[in-house]
Structure 1
Amino acid sequence: MAAMEEIHVSKTYPLKPKLKPRPKTPSKTPESKYWSSFKNHEIPNLISSVPSLAFSPAAPHRFAAAHSASLSLFSPQTLAATHTITSFSDVVSSTSFRSDGSLIAASDLSGLIQVFDVKTRTPLRKLRSHTRPVRFVKYPVLDKLHVISGGDDGLVKYWDVAGENVILNLKGHKDYVRCGDCSPVNFDSFVTGSYDHVVKLWDVRVGDENRAVMEMNHGKPVEDVLFLPSGGLVASAGGNSVKVWDLIGGGKLVYSMESHNKTVTSICVGRIGMEIDDESMQNRILSVGLDGYMKVFDYTNFKVTHSMRHPAPLLSVGFSPSCKVQVIGTSNGIIYAGKRKGKEAAEEIALGGLPGFQSISDEPLKRALRPSFYRYFRRGQSEKPSEGDFLVMKPKKVKLAEHDRLLKKFRHKEALVSVLGRNNPENVVAVMEELVARRKLLKCISNLESEELGPLLRFLQKYSTVPRYSSLLMGLAKKIVDIRAEDIRGSNELKGLIRNLKSAVEEEIRIQQELQEIQGIISPLLKMAGRRL
Structure 2
Amino acid sequence: MAEAQLSKTFPVKPKLKSKPRTPKQTPESKYWSSFKTRQISNLISVPCLTFSPTPSHSIAVAHSASLSIFSSETLSITSNISSFSDVVSCASFRSDGRLIAASDLSGLVQVFDLKTRTPLRRLRSHTRPVRFVQFPQLDKLHLISGGDDALVKYWDVAAETSILELQGHKDYVRCGDSFPVNMDMFVTGSYDHTVKLWDVRVTDTRSVMELNHGNPVEDVLFLPSGGLVATAGGNSVKIWDVIAGGKLMFSMDSHNKTVTSICMGRIGKDTGEESQQLRILSVGLDGYMKVFDYAANRVTHSMRFPAPLLSIGYSPDCSTRVIGTSNGILYAGKRKTKEKENEESESDQFWRIAPVEQPERKVLKPSYFRYFQRGQGEKPSRGDYLIMRPKRVKLAEHDKLLKKFRHREALVSVLGSKNPENVLAVMEELVARKKLLKCVSNLDAEELELLFRFLHKYCTMPRYSSLLMGLTKRVLEVRADDIRASNSLRGHISNLKRSVEEEIRVQQSLQEIQGIISPLLKIAGRR
Give the TM-score, by structure 2 length. 0.77
For 1:401 and 1:276, how far apart are their aligned partners in 2? 49
Contact kept, 8 Å, 2:440 with 2:475, in 1: the verdict is: no
For 2:7 and 2:92, how far apart are their aligned partners in 1? 66
For 1:55 and 1:155, how far apart are their aligned partners in 2? 26
Q: Quick check: 1:504 aligned with 2:497?
A: no
Matched residue, 1:126: 122
Q: Quick check: 1:117 aligned with 2:108?
A: no
In the alignment, structure 1 segments of 5+ residues that lack a partner are 343-358, 367-373, 489-493
Give the AA of the match of 1:362.
K
SS in 1 for 2:269: coil
SS in 2 for 1:427: helix
SS in 1 for 2:496: helix
For 1:100 and 1:36, how far apart are their aligned partners in 2? 31
Matched residue, 2:64: 68
Deviates more, 1:142-151 or 1:509-518: 509-518
Kindly, what percent of the aligned residue pairs are identical? 60
Structure 1 residues 309, 117: closer, same or farther in 2, change over 3 A?
same
For 1:384 and 1:95, how far apart are their aligned partners in 2? 60
Give the AA of the match of 1:122.
T
For 1:7 and 1:278, how far apart are their aligned partners in 2? 57
Alignment of 1:132-211 (within 5 A): 132-204=128-200, 206-211=201-206
Deviates more, 1:54-63 or 1:193-202: 193-202
Matched residue, 1:352: none
What is the Cα deviation at residue 194 of structure 1?
2.4
Deviates more, 1:297-306 or 1:507-516: 507-516
Q: Name which of 45, 48, 53 aligns with 2:49.
A: 53
Alignment of 1:367-378 (within 5 A): none
What is the Cα deviation at residue 53 of structure 1?
0.7
Matched residues, number: 481
What is the Cα deviation at residue 418 of structure 1?
4.9
Q: Name which of 290, 299, 304 aligns with 2:294.
A: 299
Structure 1 residues 290, 440: closer, same or farther in 2, change over 3 A?
closer
Q: Quick check: 1:283 aligned with 2:296?
A: no
SS in 1 for 2:73: coil
Q: Quick check: 1:336 aligned with 2:314?
A: no
What is the Cα deviation at residue 437 of structure 1?
1.8
Contact kept, 8 Å, 1:285 with 1:298, in 2: the verdict is: yes
Give the AA of the match of 1:509.
K
Q: Quick check: 1:17 aligned with 2:10?
A: no
SS in 1 for 2:432: helix
Contact kept, 8 Å, 1:13 with 1:400, in 2: the verdict is: yes
Give the AA of the match of 1:217.
N
For 1:263 and 1:240, how far apart are their aligned partners in 2? 5
In the alignment, structure 2 segments of 5+ residues that lack a partner are 346-359, 365-374, 521-527
Alignment of 1:414-433 (within 5 A): 416-418=408-410, 420-421=412-413, 423-424=416-417, 426-433=421-428
Contact kept, 8 Å, 1:185 with 1:231, in 2: the verdict is: yes
Structure 1 residues 524, 262: closer, same or farther in 2, change over 3 A?
closer
Q: Name which of 208, 221, 225 aligns with 1:226.
A: 221
Contact kept, 8 Å, 1:325 with 1:337, in 2: the verdict is: no
Matched residue, 1:459: 450
SS in 2 for 1:404: helix
SS in 2 for 1:58: coil
Contact kept, 8 Å, 1:171 with 1:209, in 2: the verdict is: no
Give the AA of the match of 1:74.
F
What is the Cα deviation at residue 85 of structure 1?
0.4
Give the AA of the match of 1:118.
L
Structure 1 residues 439, 522: closer, same or farther in 2, change over 3 A?
closer
For 2:292 and 2:493, how far apart are their aligned partners in 1? 54
Q: Name which of 462, 468, 475 aligns with 1:470.
A: 468
Give the TM-score, by structure 1 length. 0.76
Matched residue, 2:73: 77
Q: Quick check: 1:266 aligned with 2:261?
A: yes
Give the AA of the match of 1:35.
W
What is the Cα deviation at residue 72 of structure 1?
0.5
Q: Quick check: 1:363 aligned with 2:341?
A: yes
For 2:289 and 2:333, how far apart are their aligned partners in 1? 16
Contact kept, 8 Å, 2:234 with 2:258, in 1: the verdict is: yes
Contact kept, 8 Å, 2:398 with 2:413, in 1: the verdict is: no
Contact kept, 8 Å, 1:169 with 1:209, in 2: the verdict is: no
Matched residue, 1:106: 102
Structure 1 residues 523, 183: closer, same or farther in 2, change over 3 A?
closer
Matched residue, 1:324: 319
Contact kept, 8 Å, 1:324 with 1:360, in 2: the verdict is: no
What is the Cα deviation at residue 198 of structure 1?
2.4
